[in-house]
Structure 1
């Protein structure tokens, strides 16, 4: 076990000119991608798989603490891995409870039914994203996070809100991830975290796909309610639009 951990912390792929890629960073992002795929399919296992990736990426972004070759610390990126773990525990519990309540304990069933957030919730998400970024920027700057610090704070807040939205089953959470990716790609490239930057590019396309997948599922649910009752679902027309 010790040898495996030593390899995991030290292994890297070196390029000409002194560049390198940490295998921990690659593996952490692959676990994250697998978690996103499970989330799109509404599978409970998406949450624990994501937690494994979060642990790996935390050790990457706190590079100097864990003796990584990259001397750049991204406190927002590292801190959001801890946030991911905490919110993922909440999401894991919520999806398991929702699955048992609506579908029983049969394996292979979707854990959550996608729905639109209410307008107050949407406004709250936008306000929280900008206000949280403004509040965290001076904190991350004081800690010595990589410039531009506001981008690190934006990624942290967006990731927190997107993960919470996924736990609630809100379709809009995918769009928050798109906003995170648009800022995250240039930040990670400039900081030298190339594996994460390329994965963010892929995530951007993937999150758009996930948005349309959940949107179609939600629309089919609306149509089925209308067919069964002969009227639009009042909870959809009033609360969720």
Structure 2
């Protein structure tokens, strides 16, 4: 209990302000999860879930922090979404490994799937913006909705093994970094900034893995009864 109380209250002084320790720790787990995802390791999913739980308490702001803490409902909601999709991805990667293959084999999304991703990102952002506004999310609310929907699509794309999921993260970071700086969540903002570079590296790593993939050849043994 003492450790949990310390974790929720502890802060790291930075100049004239401070950072929540759980925000820093949560983002460290997030980066470890991203690194594991780039290497296609199954442990990336449970490590990411731990980070999501910590960051959920951060972005709910006034509920777990001080009364004047900014509440980002999109950021908080996406932590819950991350956990749900992570369970799906964890099971999918484990099943693929049990079938005798890699945890996941990178593949390109089809043309229809790419159109669907873009459509869901745009329509989802427009649809959720007024919802988040009514619930009291921080301005600009559309940016919060964009990061929420984009994060959902990127995590789902990772579970499916689509190479394009890294580029969705780039689109999320472009909007998410300025939003987080404006709300004072500096640890997460700097993580997003670093993650933006990391995601580009991950994209090329998965692209190379896809190109290096050896074609599967199914060998059919002749039926001895057929002469």
Could you say which TM-score interval applies, normalised by the shorter chain?
over 0.9
Instruction: Indicate which of 215, 219, 226 corresponds to 2:211.
Output: 219
Cα contact 1:44–1:96 (8 A) shared by 2: yes
Structure 1 residues 218 and 125 mapped into 2: Cα distance closer, same or farther (>3 Å)?
same
CA deviation map 1:136-187 (0-9, x unaligned):
0000000010000000000000000000000000000000000000000000
- 1:70, distance to aligned residue in structure 2 (A): 5.5
Gaps of 5+ in 2: 219-227
Say how many residue pairs are matched.
218
CA deviation map 1:162-218 (0-9, x unaligned):
000000000000000000000000000000000000000000000000000000010
Distance 2:78 2:15 in 1: 32
Distance 2:67 2:22 in 1: 12
Distance 2:172 2:180 in 1: 12
- Superposition TM-score, scaled by structure 2 size: 0.93
Cα contact 1:9–1:68 (8 A) shared by 2: no
- SS of the equivalent of 1:102 reads coil
Distance 1:15 1:40 in 2: 31
1:222-241 equivalence runs, <5 A: 224-225=214-215
Distance 2:207 2:34 in 1: 16
- 1:15, distance to aligned residue in structure 2 (A): 3.4
Distance 1:50 1:203 in 2: 14
Corresponding residue of 2:224: none
Distance 1:124 1:76 in 2: 21
Gaps of 5+ in 1: 104-109, 230-241
- SS of the equivalent of 1:13 reads strand
- 1:56, distance to aligned residue in structure 2 (A): 0.1
Cα RMSD (Å): 1.4
Instruction: Indicate which of 110, 125, 131 corresponds to 1:139.
Output: 131
Structure 1 residues 210 and 16 mapped into 2: Cα distance closer, same or farther (>3 Å)?
closer
- SS of the equivalent of 1:84 reads helix
Cα contact 1:10–1:68 (8 A) shared by 2: no
Corresponding residue of 1:189: 181
CA deviation map 1:89-114 (0-9, x unaligned):
000000000111133xxxxxx41110
Residue 42 of structure 1 pairs with residue 40 of structure 2: yes
Corresponding residue of 1:234: none
Corresponding residue of 1:3: 2
Residue 172 of structure 1 pairs with residue 164 of structure 2: yes
Cα contact 1:24–1:60 (8 A) shared by 2: yes
- SS of the equivalent of 2:106 reads coil
